[in-house]
Structure 1
Amino acid sequence: MKNITYLLFLCLFIISCNKKIEKVNQNEIKKPNIIYVFADQWRAQSLGYAGNLDVKTPNLDKLASEGVYFTNAVSTSPVCTPYRAMMLTGQYVLKTGVFLNDVRLGPDNNSFGKILKEEGYNTAYIGKWHLDGNERSAYIPKERRQGFDYWKTLNCSHSYNNSNYWGNDDKLKQWKGYDAKAQTKDAVAYIEEQAKSEKPFSLVLSWGPPHAPYQTAPKEFQDLYKNVDIQLRPNVPEKLVERTKKILKGYYAHCSALDSYIKELQDAVKRNNIEDNTIFVFTSDHGDMINSHGEMKKQKIYEESAKVPFIVKYPALLGKEGKKSDFLLNTLDILPTMLGMSGIKIPKNLDGENITDIILGKKQDDRKASLVACIQPFGQWKRKIGGKEFRGIITKTHTYARDLDGEWLLFDNVKDPYQLNNLIENPDYKVVSKELEILLEEELNRLDDEFLPGKAYIEKWGHTVDSTGTVPFKW
């Protein structure tokens, strides 16, 4: 009897110890590091792995072969400041008021850096910020840095050689040479240092190129395209062919330069043995028309403006073999997905979806559409050059949009991938347009978007704009 009692106590003791060990082990599991790299104005079509035979992006092609790359990544509001606000907060632009460039993201918003910091992360932001109002070179105090401690940024600059930045010591400094290269070097040093720490880290690296000016990349990358006959998209008007080829040579030079810095970042991750437990993302805030449809820049729903590259690599969770996804990823999904992949509780007020289980094949992809919106046209798409408020959706087969006057655009992206034929008046597509309108209404209702004139939202949020609807800014 004594032996039986002794064995029972021994079993209970072992079970208790195992549970304690299991609990300790769970507490000791280090959350993944997050390295989020994004360029400014890099369209989805300008990558080797996307089928572009001119642009040289071998390192991003390799990254795509090792991670998950999305063919339907959509910028929900394809312009700088609105994208950045949505990426950091996970909230639609009408909930933060950040639907124009050069307005400030309120310091009380909960966001990427703050959430990760509360979860024990070291946080860093290097590069372009563009979330602190209309003084593009002004000092940004700590309370407006959205939880990022390591800080080397400027609100906004498109001078990519010897540009300025505010450092951790709150002094104005200068990146030496091509700023994206210098910023990458600094990011690599940060990775090297953080790899020694027991704490996880998050690093956001925000490059200014390939946004214009297009002809300022380092000479070695410009030389790659010096004697190349660039192939244009069929939707570029004949009268703009030569100008567009010149622009693309400079644009691609920027792209190839940034691509080489992806290798530097990946090498640092591998060299420091943190590859498996690091979420590495490459993307862009929006695209660039570059004379497709005779248009320039962004804010539009055309593929060249609204579609962006998006690659996520996280070997510990996603494996090491590349995978292509046609999921309709939008900007609002980024924050909840980064948190979900990291095992962090997701705030209930976010407007996107954690798509981790969809990527892993554990959950069905039932998304039918992704929203694209222009709340108020401004700047490079002001009204006198065709700018207008619109709401639209992109599906896996169509693009549909309406403006304040009613239905505006309908493209069959399968039959017409360069969007040359607007089918909105085509009677054969009336059923399709009606179905797409229903999907659009569902999305607007979900986001509490009444689709009012831009002026109504400007007045609601108290933004100061000029006669073109643009926030005046100072360099």
Structure 2
Amino acid sequence: MSAPKQVIFIITDTQRKDMVGCYGHPDMKTPHLDKLAAEGVRFENAYCCTPVCGPARSSLFTGMFGHSNGSWSNCMPLGDNVKTVGQRLTDQGVHAAYVGKWHLDGSDYFGLARCPDGWDPAYWYDMRCYLEELSAEDRLRSRQVETNQADDLTREFTYAHRCSNRAIDFLTRHNGEDFFLVVSYDEPHHPYLCPKPYSDMYRDYEFPKKQNVWDTLEGKPAHQRVWAGPDLAQNKDALRITLPDFLGCNSFVDDEIGRVIEAIDKSAPDALVIYTSDHGDMLFSHSLNNKGPAMYQENTNIPFIVRWPNHAPANQVGTGLISHIDVVPTVLHALGVEPAPVLQGQNLLPMFESPAQAINDTVFMEFHRYEVDHDGFGGFQPIRACFDGRYKLSINLLVTDELYDLQEDPEEMVNLIESAAHTEIRNRLHDKILDWMNQTRDPFRGYYWERRPWRTDARPATWEYTSFTRQREEDELYEPRQLDYDTGLEMTAAVRKKKPPHLQDNPPT
């Protein structure tokens, strides 16, 4: 009898790479994640798809970018015809369970307390489920940072602990099955709820300032200066970055992850374990705070650790490019399910087994809006970006574009978008972005992304743009093959040239 195929996916919220000790930051107390990395592979160049919670998660759990799956802003739901990895696995006989923050049902921050199709309802536990267990008074306490200093705050009160409990129960009861288990923590996101001693661990600690804290944003996009606001003129020499609750919660969630890993070691010791975070946080780099419409490393370059006994080597570092868009096809392959054509990422299993191997030569990122519920947070800020391991190009549709050489300028201080010496590199990356937008059927694509002020060889603006039609190709388990508008028959090719109206045999009059 063959051993069961098992994958556990652990995700935190707003955890920068430099908040994990094994990434070269020993002041950060994350012993369980450090141990996981020592037993597996720590990847240095992993990137989220969108640096804000909901859209980042939408890509992680559908294998499609936010512009394709419908959830391109917080509080926007997935499209009706978009299938999650849970649905795809359940329909192939693999047990799928999701414990923790979801943020993809189009509701508020906390969710609807309703299990979506494809996930085991016995283990569904979004943040509304948690709040419904609390009294009105305790709900308020759970949303206040000041609660961390209460002597009666216990780990049992926290969302993280209750998520861990459910994950441990699943591992104990279902260890003989093929399964995919997601453990999705809200921590260390605000309000940073954590009991003592974690809430006191960093009371006297000053987070190190990177050189880009002094960035004046000259030659940078205008929206970044608006975002920075008064912080741009702040005396950065006098600035002290103190984050006792945030960093305390960071160490607390590591401890909760440790509880889950201990249960994995007992119940599913050979399982593939993948850990990451949904995005980072600016923390005063480039005079910015929070996450949002900027593709700087602090925002997009996230921790990514894999442990896979008998497959992935131990205590290795991988430097190849990884995107969160690759998680779904990778999980499907690990569980023996063929990915559907509609998925937009790559299978990373060969990279897990041989960390020196490269799967991606470029990763792509995007931004639209922080949250549909809010008028603020900069409103609509459409961005498409790519990174090839050295150069990063961001097309900020409404403002100035950006190009950075991370080999020479790792803190992204000098915008090279107008540099004549970098014309060939810039244009090559720009072409990659345009091709990616077309290939992924980006609904926002069009000639305006190509006709940037610095792109002197851009094609003239035309209503037809490329003149291609690009139809959706889904697994026929979920929908029949689409029909060709011109014939009414099944399309022979999903991507094909389409004649503009004035060139058709019988143009409209």
Measured against the shorter chain, the TM-score band is: 0.7 to 0.9
TM-score normalised to structure 2 length: 0.73
1:105 paired residue among 78, 86, 95: 78
Query: Which residue of the partner structure matches residue 410 of structure 1?
Result: 403
**Is the contact between residue 71 and residue 326 of structure 1 (CA under 8 Å) also seen in structure 2?**
yes
TM-score normalised to structure 1 length: 0.78
Query: Which residue of the partner structure matches residue 451 of structure 1?
Result: 445
Query: Which residue of the partner structure matches residue 310 of structure 2?
Result: 316
Please give the residue correspondences for 1:61-72 in structure 2 after superposition, counting only pairs within 5 Å: 61-72=34-45
Query: Which residue of the partner structure matches residue 33 of structure 2?
Result: 60
Query: Which residue of the partner structure matches residue 275 of structure 2?
Result: 282
Structure 2: how far apart are the matches of 1:431 and 1:382? 39
Matched residue pairs, number? 409
Please give the residue correspondences for 1:384-423 in structure 2 after superposition, counting only pairs within 5 Å: 385=378, 388-404=381-397, 408-423=401-416
**Is the contact between residue 66 and residue 72 of structure 2 (CA under 8 Å) also seen in structure 1?**
yes
1:264 paired residue among 259, 267, 271: 259
Say whether 1:330 aligns with 2:323. Answer: yes
1:187 paired residue among 167, 183, 194: 167
**Is the contact between residue 97 and residue 124 of structure 2 (CA under 8 Å) also seen in structure 1?**
yes
Query: Which residue of the partner structure matches residue 246 of structure 1?
Result: 242
Shift in Å, 1:125: 1.4
Shift in Å, 1:366: 5.4
**Is the contact between residue 87 and residue 117 of structure 2 (CA under 8 Å) also seen in structure 1?**
no
**Is the contact between residue 221 and residue 257 of structure 1 (CA under 8 Å) also seen in structure 2?**
yes
Distance change in 2, residues 1:363/1:398 (3 Å): closer
Structure 1: how far apart are the matches of 2:27 and 2:426? 36
Shift in Å, 1:297: 1.8
User: Which deviates further from its counterpart, 94-103 or 223-232?
Assistant: 223-232
Query: Which residue of the partner structure matches residue 300 of structure 2?
Result: 306
Structure 2: how far apart are the matches of 1:202 and 1:394? 30
Structure 2: how far apart are the matches of 1:211 and 1:156? 18
Shift in Å, 1:147: 3.0
Unaligned runs of 5+ in 2: 132-138, 144-154, 215-233, 450-509
Letter in 1 for 2:208: Q
Shift in Å, 1:117: 1.7
**Is the contact between residue 391 and residue 451 of structure 1 (CA under 8 Å) also seen in structure 2?**
no
Distance change in 2, residues 1:57/1:39 (3 Å): same
SS in 2 for 1:312: strand
Shift in Å, 1:229: 3.5
User: Which deviates further from its counterpart, 323-332 or 100-109?
Assistant: 100-109
Distance change in 2, residues 1:313/1:378 (3 Å): same
Structure 1: how far apart are the matches of 2:142 and 2:441? 44
List per-residue Cα deviations over 1:98-149 (Å, max 9, x = no partner).
101111224543221122223333322111111111344564444x344333
**Is the contact between residue 9 and residue 182 of structure 2 (CA under 8 Å) also seen in structure 1?**
yes
**Is the contact between residue 346 and residue 359 of structure 2 (CA under 8 Å) also seen in structure 1?**
no
Structure 2: how far apart are the matches of 1:104 and 1:411? 33
Structure 2: how far apart are the matches of 1:446 and 1:211? 34
Letter in 2 for 1:230: F
Q: CA RMSD in A?
A: 3.0
Say whether 1:224 aligns with 2:181. Answer: no
Please give the residue correspondences for 1:136-175 in structure 2 after superposition, counting only pairs within 5 Å: 136-137=109-110, 139-142=112-115, 144-149=116-121, 150-154=123-127, 162=142
**Is the contact between residue 340 and residue 354 of structure 1 (CA under 8 Å) also seen in structure 2?**
yes
**Is the contact between residue 378 and residue 387 of structure 1 (CA under 8 Å) also seen in structure 2?**
no
Structure 1: how far apart are the matches of 2:419 and 2:125? 52
Distance change in 2, residues 1:48/1:360 (3 Å): same
List per-residue Cα deviations over 1:383-405 (Å, max 9, x = no partner).
77586211111221121111225
Letter in 1 for 2:87: K
SS in 1 for 2:403: strand
Structure 1: how far apart are the matches of 2:318 and 2:419? 31
Unaligned runs of 5+ in 1: 1-27, 164-174, 455-475
Structure 2: how far apart are the matches of 1:130 and 1:325? 30
Structure 2: how far apart are the matches of 1:231 and 1:202? 38
**Is the contact between residue 130 and residue 156 of structure 1 (CA under 8 Å) also seen in structure 2?**
no
Distance change in 2, residues 1:381/1:404 (3 Å): farther
Letter in 2 for 1:430: T
Query: Which residue of the partner structure matches residue 119 of structure 1?
Result: 92
SS in 2 for 1:336: helix
Query: Which residue of the partner structure matches residue 25 of structure 1?
Result: none
Structure 1: how far apart are the matches of 2:141 and 2:422? 50
Distance change in 2, residues 1:395/1:382 (3 Å): farther
Structure 2: how far apart are the matches of 1:292 and 1:270? 38
Shift in Å, 1:91: 1.4
2:177 paired residue among 155, 176, 199: 199
Structure 2: how far apart are the matches of 1:362 and 1:380? 41
**Is the contact between residue 128 and residue 155 of structure 1 (CA under 8 Å) also seen in structure 2?**
no
List per-residue Cα deviations over 1:366-394 (Å, max 9, x = no partner).
52211111134557997775862111112
SS in 2 for 1:104: coil
Letter in 2 for 1:129: W
Structure 2: how far apart are the matches of 1:138 and 1:362? 37
Query: Which residue of the partner structure matches residue 8 of structure 1?
Result: none
Structure 1: how far apart are the matches of 2:163 and 2:129? 14
Q: Say which structure is richer in helix.
A: 1
**Is the contact between residue 75 and residue 372 of structure 2 (CA under 8 Å) also seen in structure 1?**
no
Distance change in 2, residues 1:327/1:310 (3 Å): same
**Is the contact between residue 180 and residue 258 of structure 1 (CA under 8 Å) also seen in structure 2?**
yes
Distance change in 2, residues 1:441/1:123 (3 Å): same
Letter in 1 for 2:310: A
